[in-house]
Amino acid sequence: MSYLDHYKKLIEAEFKSNKNFNFMRAVTPGADYFIENGFPLKKKGNERWKYLDLRNVTSSNFTKSIYEERISNDFDSVLEKLAPCGINIVEDEILIVGDNKNHLSGRNFVDSEGIGASSPSKTIIGEIADPEEDGFIALNAAVADITSFSINENFSQKALNIVFAGQSQSDRLSTERMCIKIHANTEVTINEIHFDSDFNTLNIPVLEIYLDKDSKLIHNKVILGSEKDMNFNFTRVFQEEGSYYKNTSFCHSPSLGSNDIKVIMAGQGSECDLGGIYFTDNKTQFNTHVTVDHLAPNCKSNQFYKGVLSDESKAVFSGKIFVERNAQKTYATQKDLNLLMSKGAEIDTKPSLEIYADDVECSHGATAGHVDESSLYYMMSRGIEKEIATQMLVRGFVDEIIDSISDDKIRKFALNQTELILPNLSFK
């Protein structure tokens, strides 16, 4: 059986199940698009994925686990993983997605003040994340597990921590879809955490985020990968007038995966700030794909990413700034900096601009290189061993991004993860 036949049967089973949701506007095009095109395996004409080898996504016929098959101690194991983050089930707001049910600090999700949960049966997906944009997004739309909610100005907690969890001992497909609306004049922090899996998994989470007028969202994302899992992570954001969106990501690459972000700046005077650090090692492959569409005048955007590549790993950065004809007074920057720690590591970086307005200020750039030899020599001349000196220089390189993480607990967690990653990197 080909992988397309397998997923066709899976999609048909989803249609016949009791998940008769009112999102057929997205599901049907998503299903049709995926059955016709499959995963984006072809290199020719495929700018987003042509530098990665995606064949492993077809190596297993991944299936969706049902609630009764989930490991009973998922919830407890997630809490154990959260402990190093400093996140506490009693003190913090935690939404755990992919467990036997959605938990919010042990209470029913809809009971939290300032959060209005929507029934999946009343949710229309695909309005921001186009199901025909990409094969991964299409498959997610066709068999999505939906969590939908809005946050208003009554939400008084410091942050909402969204933890993606749930495991099955079989080859598992996870297609979580989160639809989040931030109401006007509301300011909130969301920490999104993806833990590595102990089993073979294909994770395709999609977040659709709508920012109403003069709202503000600080979005911190952590992706921790392993040799067992593949994680293709998609974030789609729509901004109204005067809204502000900041996304800072910390990624330790799974065996194969991506951090794919698209922001649509549709309201005048809106602003977004996107940045992140990604580590790749062993033979992992990771794609950071960032697009910002400036559709309205007087908007600002910034992209600033850094990568640390080791062993025989491969990373790709493809960023794009698009400026519509009437989006005058646009200010947009884009930068990608990379450290190659070994001869076998490879980076393909492609920043780009597409501008149709004439009164704009836009810039882009990318670099790739090794640890500065003069700095390394200076530190070694002061008695510091080469490996320790190299780790110190790498730490200084990544700290600029980590320091920009607004949430204290997530920032400390990222620093601790960096300390665990650095000794295992190859410096040859």
**Which one-letter amino acid corresponds to residue 91?**
E
User: Which pLDDT value is given to residue 124?
Assistant: 73
CA 65 to chain centre: 22
Cα separation values, 161 from 174, 211, 407, Å: 19, 18, 11
- Give the C-alpha separation, 21 to 177, whole Å: 13
Assigned domain for 426 exists: no
* 274: in domain: yes
Does residue 56 belong to any structural domain of this protein? yes
What is the distance between the alpha carbons of residues 99 and 186, in angstroms, rounded to a whole number?
Answer: 29
Residue (of 309, 260, 303) closest to 282 by Cα position = 309
Amino acid in the structure at residue 273: D
How many angstroms separate the CA atoms of 237 and 261, rounded? 8
**∠ CA 413-111-124 to the nearest 5 degrees?**
85
Residue 226 lies in a domain: yes
Sign of CA dihedral 333, 309, 313, 222: negative
In the structure encoding, which two tokens stand for residue 312, read together?
């025989």
Q: How many CA atoms lie within 13 A of 125 on its CB side?
A: 37
In a domain, 233, yes or no: yes
CA angle centred on 404, ends 402 and 406, rounded to 5°: 105
Q: Does any domain span residue 124?
A: yes
Question: CA 329, CA 225: separation in Å to the nearest integer?
Answer: 40
Mean pLDDT of the chain: 87
> What's the pLDDT band for 146 if we cut at 50, 70, 90?
confident
Give me the residues paired with residue 36 across strands: none
On the question of pLDDT at 118 being above 90, the answer is no
Cβ neighbours of residue 157 under 8 Å, at least 6 residues apart? 92, 93, 114
How many structural domains are present in the chain? Answer: 1
Q: Per-residue pLDDT for 428 more than 70?
A: no
The pTM of this model reads 0.92
Task: Compute the radius of gyration of the chain from its Cα atoms.
Answer: 21
* DSSP-based three-state secondary structure for 423: helix
Closest CA to 331 of 296, 298, 292: 298
Q: Does residue 269 lie in a domain region?
A: yes
Residue 273 lies in a domain: yes
Q: Which residue has the higher pLDDT, 223 or 169?
A: 223
Reported as a pLDDT band with limits 50, 70 and 90, residue 67 is very low
The dihedral sign for the CA sequence 87, 91, 93, 94: positive
Please check the confidence at residue 214 and state whether its pLDDT lies above 80.
yes
The larger pLDDT score, comparing residue 338 to residue 13, is at 338
Q: Measure Cα distances from 40 to 16, 46, 99 in Å.
A: 27, 8, 29
pLDDT of residue 222: 95
Domain that holds residue 121: 3-372
- How large is the average pLDDT for residues 305-315? 95
Query: Beta strand 145-151 with 115-118: parallel, antiparallel or unpaired?
Result: antiparallel
Q: Is the dihedral of CA 89, 90, 94, 95 positive or negative?
A: positive
- Mean pLDDT for 103-119 is 64
Q: What is the pLDDT of residue 202?
A: 93
* CA atoms within a 13 Å half-sphere pointing along the CA-CB vector of 75: 13
In this prediction, residue 233 has a pLDDT band, given cuts at 50, 70 and 90, of very high
